[in-house]
Amino acid sequence: MKHVVEIKVRGYHLDLYGHINNARYLEFLEEGRWSFIEEYIDIDKWRKRGWFFVAVNININYRKPAFLGEILEIHTKSPQLGNNSAIFHQKIVLKGTDKIIVDADITFVIMDPDSRKTLPLRGELREAFKKMS
């Protein structure tokens, strides 16, 4: 399964050279993930259960620049599940082309923020994830 959101490049996204800042791309990717996640899971219920998404690694390639007024598509695929962590594969594509601006793997765990314990992805939690695939 794949999910796409669009973001238009504004002046306030750009740096001195007309490029989108490295940190801003992480926000675009985060927007893509939440937009995907909220379609399949009940975030409020997860929060009440003490299930929180925490990124543990981000590996991001900046491939091409994007420019003012362009429309970017944030593509997010179903997370790839491991035993204790999972990976979102995402890319940012210039709309109407196959030009990849950014691609990234975001590895995350589900954590109880009070105990700060990582929860294994099994049982009820794994079932919940399967709704996203």
Output the six-digit token pair for 8.
């238009």
Q: Which of 40, 41, 50, 62 binds a second copy (CB under 8 A)?
A: 62
Q: Is 82 one of the binding residues for a second copy (CB under 8 A)?
A: no
The sign of the CA dihedral 88, 92, 97, 99 is: negative
Q: Is 84 one of the binding residues for a second copy (CB under 8 A)?
A: no
List, in sequence order, the alpha helices (H) in 1-133: 22-40, 43-49, 123-130
Q: Which of 2, 16, 96, 127 binds a second copy (CB under 8 A)?
A: 16
How far is 121 from 30, CA to CA, in rounded Å?
21
Q: Which of 41, 46, 50, 52 binds a second copy (CB under 8 A)?
A: 52
86 strand-pairing partners: 81, 108
Residues that bind a second copy (CB under 8 A): 10-12, 14-19, 21-24, 26-27, 30-31, 34, 38, 43-44, 52, 54-63, 65, 68-69, 113, 116
